[in-house]
């Protein structure tokens, strides 16, 4: 129904409305895991922007499919769209949007296991947001830099960046960004074996996330929550968290589905002593 409305706008030569409808539905498609609809709508938006000759809208319609392709693991496609978006934004001199594109490229590189390159993009995004005073962007970039420090093993630095991200998101009232920052902060605490703090962070993230219905984010948080439950020798709680994560992941086509199935299978077949693996030594 939603796609048919966008298609109707195109067929009646209302390209402005087609682009605006696609853009307005982006968050809904993202939170609910409607990847196909998100992709199709943004390709329609891209064609509409080109017909209109609106370069800014064209760049945005590249960045959005960059997000969805990265979300579903089609990383080469994601890279192509983010690069197109960044090139167009640089030509326009739009620093905030350049920062958005760098954040996207950082996320894509992280998914490919290229954390050093990802961190470079995240730091470029943070620098650009600071130059323009874009607080919401700064909060997201701080969280990304923190997350990538976790991946690179500098967990104390990650705590600092992620705590700044939590505080800034609270200051500007960005509950979605705050949820992501609590999740990252939980991961940093987990890697430092500060499991009580990690569990507290994940619960805060989960409460926020469920309040606005981000099913992709809920899957990620539950996955991390299960890891920490297992680390404190609570396999029953780990199983519950992973089962909940898998139920959502199956429904929305989350790329972590296979990993979650594997963890649940390992837990099912583990000997009693094995189930304590990862607990405090």
- Asked if residue 41 is part of any domain, the answer here is no
**Other residues' Cβ atoms within 10 Å of the Cβ of residue 12:** 10
- Asked if residue 279 is part of any domain, the answer here is yes
The three-state secondary structure class of 35 is: helix
- Asked if residue 42 is part of any domain, the answer here is no
The three-state secondary structure class of 213 is: coil
C-alpha 123/C-alpha 161 separation (Å) is: 11
Tokens encoding 9: 């706008």
Give me the DSSP letters along 240-276: HHHHHHHHHHHHHT-TTHHHHHHHHHHHHH--TTGGG
Tokens encoding 187: 């991961």
C-alpha 24/C-alpha 41 separation (Å) is: 10
Tokens encoding 254: 């989350």
C-alpha 123/C-alpha 100 separation (Å) is: 12
Task: Give residue 271's pLDDT band: very low, low, confident or very high (50, 70, 90).
Answer: low
pLDDT in tens, 90-105: 999 999 999 999 999 9
- Asked if residue 194 is part of any domain, the answer here is no
C-alpha 262/C-alpha 248 separation (Å) is: 16
- Asked if residue 255 is part of any domain, the answer here is yes
- Compute and round to an integer the Cα radius of gyration of the chain: 20
pLDDT for 281 beyond 60: no
C-alpha 178/C-alpha 160 separation (Å) is: 15
Provide the number of structural domains found in the chain. Answer: 1
- Asked if residue 48 is part of any domain, the answer here is no
Map 161-206 to HEC letters.
HHHHHHHHHHHHCCHHHHHHHHHHHHHHHHHCCCHHHHHHHHHHHH
What pLDDT is stored for residue 195 in this prediction?
98
Give the single-character DSSP code of 279: S
Task: Give residue 3's pLDDT band: very low, low, confident or very high (50, 70, 90).
Answer: confident
What pLDDT is stored for residue 272 in this prediction?
54
pLDDT in tens, 81-138: 999 999 999 999 999 999 999 999 999 999 999 999 999 999 999 999 999 999 999 9
Per the model's pLDDT, the better-predicted residue between 272 and 78 turns out to be 78
pLDDT in tens, 41-65: 999 999 999 999 999 999 999 999 9
- Asked if residue 107 is part of any domain, the answer here is no
User: Can you give the residue range of the structural domain that contains 253?
Assistant: 214-281
C-alpha 198/C-alpha 75 separation (Å) is: 30
């Amino acid at each position: 129904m939603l796609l048919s409305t966008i298609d109707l706008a195109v067929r009646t030569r209302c390209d402005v409305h087609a682009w605006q409808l696609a853009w307005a539905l982006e968050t809904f498609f993202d939170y609910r895991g409607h990847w196909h609809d998100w992709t199709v709508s943004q390709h329609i938006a891209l064609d509409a922007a080109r017909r209109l000759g609106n370069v800014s809208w064209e760049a945005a319609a590249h960045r959005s499919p960059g997000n969805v392709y990265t979300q579903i693991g089609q990383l080469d496609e994601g890279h192509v769209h983010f690069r197109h978006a960044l090139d167009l934004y640089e030509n326009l001199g739009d620093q905030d949007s350049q920062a958005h594109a760098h954040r996207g490229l950082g996320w894509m590189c992280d998914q490919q296991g290229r954390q050093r390159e990802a961190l470079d993009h995240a730091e470029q995004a943070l620098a650009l947001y600071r130059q323009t005073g874009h607080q919401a962007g700064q909060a997201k970039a701080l969280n990304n830099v923190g997350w990538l420090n976790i991946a690179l093993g500098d967990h104390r630095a990650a705590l600092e960046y992620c705590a700044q991200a939590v505080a800034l998101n609270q200051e500007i009232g960005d509950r979605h960004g705050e949820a992501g920052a609590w999740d990252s902060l939980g991961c940093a605490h987990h890697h430092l074996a500060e499991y009580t703090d990690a569990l507290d962070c994940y619960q805060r993230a989960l409460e926020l996330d469920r309040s606005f219905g981000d099913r992709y984010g809920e899957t990620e948080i539950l996955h991390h929550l299960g890891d920490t439950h297992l680390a404190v020798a609570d396999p029953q709680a780990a199983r519950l968290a992973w089962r909940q994560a898998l139920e959502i992941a199956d429904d929305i086509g989350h790329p972590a589905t296979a990993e979650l199935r594997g963890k649940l299978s390992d837990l099912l077949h583990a000997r009693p002593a094995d189930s304590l693996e990862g607990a405090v030594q």
